[in-house]
Amino acid sequence: MVELDPILRGNKKDRKEFSCAIKIDTMINQDFCCNICHRGFTKKVRPHFDHIQGREDNSMSNCQALCPNCHNNKSVNENREEAKKQKERSTNIDINTKWI
Ligand SMILES: [Zn+2]
């Protein structure tokens, strides 16, 4: 028997944007496993509810439950991508404004 409440409470660092109903449906759809590595969630391996694309969309289709490890890896990759984009943007601005 899976104890829903402590598992669904998730990690303290989780942003509280997804509704509880969406979290429950996501967990059921994923069979209480991480959506990337498929490791089962336990009291020790709490799910992190992740926005698949962008944090503005809190709908069911944008929600996935990840284990802390996969969530961390995804965030690191996303932050790296964002830093790269920002660097490109600032480089573009330099090129466009240098000779004005
Ligand atoms: Zn995982």
Enumerate residues 6+ apart whose C-beta is below 8 A from 45: 39, 67, 68
CA 22 – ligand 1 centroid, Å: 19
33-87 pLDDT, tens digit each: 999 999 999 999 999 999 998 888 999 999 999 999 999 999 999 999 999 999 8
CA 56 – ligand 1 centroid, Å: 23
CA 89 – ligand 1 centroid, Å: 32
Band the pLDDT of 90: cuts 50, 70, 90: confident
Query: Residue 46 corresponds to which amino acid?
Result: R
Let me know: does 60 contact 98? Beta carbons within 8 Å: no
pLDDT at residue 91 in the model: 74
pLDDT at residue 21 in the model: 97
Q: For the domain with range 4-95, which CATH number is right: 3.20.10.10, 3.30.70.360, 3.40.1800.10, 3.20.20.150?
A: 3.40.1800.10
CA 38 – ligand 1 centroid, Å: 6
What are the boundaries of each domain within the chain?
A: 4-95
CA 95 – ligand 1 centroid, Å: 41
Let me know: does 46 contact 11? Beta carbons within 8 Å: yes
Q: Which helix (H) or strand (E) element contains residue 50? A: strand 48-51
